[in-house]
Amino acid sequence: MEHVGIQADAPVARQEAAEGTFEVTGAAVAQIARLTEKRRSEGKPTEAIRIGLRGGGCDGFSYVFEWADKPAGKHDHVLELPDANGGNVRIFIDKKSMLYLKGTTLNFVTGLMGHGFKFENPNVKGSCGCGESVQF
């Protein structure tokens, strides 16, 4: 689905699991690589980005998008995606969150209202007015 002022990007990576698929666009991989390099230059850990869901917010759940400073747990799904600089970016998704994220595409969008990561999740039944939480 295209929106005026938003650049869409085709998925470049897909995590297949019993719980479903999770796709990441080239724009999202490039932005994660930029953020990883910036964090590395500041001397901070860059193990991976952790993506998931946390209970809370107006509609019941909010997305987690944070740095993982230690290796993946034994129940995490691990995506290792090649970036344009010849390196890799890593994404960890816990098993429980993957149940709600199946079929989701992570994109990085730019538009008139700014830029940011966008979860395109077909499982969402509703979201709050501020856009910070979702309902399944």
As to burial, measured by CB atoms within 10 angstroms (0-12 exposed, 13-18 middle, 19+ buried), residue 106 is: buried
Instruction: Tell me the three state secondary structure of residue 20.
Output: strand
pLDDT tens-digit readout, 45-79: 889 999 989 887 666 788 889 999 888 888 899 99
Q: What percent of the chain has pLDDT over 70?
A: 74
Look at residues 32, 38, 134 and name the one whose alpha carbon lies nearest to residue 92. 32
Please, what are the domains in the chain? 18-135 (2.60.300.12)
Q: Residue 45: what are its φ and ψ, rounded to 5°?
A: -60, 145
Sign of CA dihedral 50, 121, 22, 114: negative
The pLDDT mean for the chain works out to: 80
pLDDT of residue 27 exceeding 60: yes
The pLDDT, as a whole number, for residue 33 is 96
